[in-house]
Amino acid sequence: MNTLASTMTTSLQKIEAHANVIIASQQMRDKKVGSLVVVRHGELMRDQEEEIIGLITEADIIRKAVAAEQDLQTTSVDTVMTSPMITVEASWPIEDALEMMRDSGVRHLLVAQNRVVVGLVSLRDLIASEQ
């Protein structure tokens, strides 16, 4: 049985919540990824700790910013991101993750191990692993 641990991406590409949509698009292009984990550094948080607050995808940018004719220079990532994110355990079978995506209407899941986010899995990752 294949689990998410064998399929997930562990090098998470991140972006600050206050960054604009153009920066997010350029980062996706440069890193050759379809999504970025959105993080926030809070005043009450120690040093450089960050909190994951959502995910921005190519579809979010197209549907919520471009199609809505938003000014991409002033539209911040946190206004078009998907939030809250669904988080599942790394030990989950791929079939269960596919079912979760279908039932929830999402294409990405954060993957955790012992309540710590350790990766991200996309629908494309899961389909590729089934072949």
On whether the pTM is more than 0.85, the answer is yes
DSSP for 71-96 reads -TTT-BHHHHSB-SPPEEETTSBHHH
Containing structural domain, residue 80: 4-130
Domain count, the chain: 1
pLDDT at 112: 93
CATH of the domain at 36: 3.10.580.10
pLDDT in tens, 83-129: 999 999 999 999 999 999 999 999 999 999 988 899 999 999 998 88
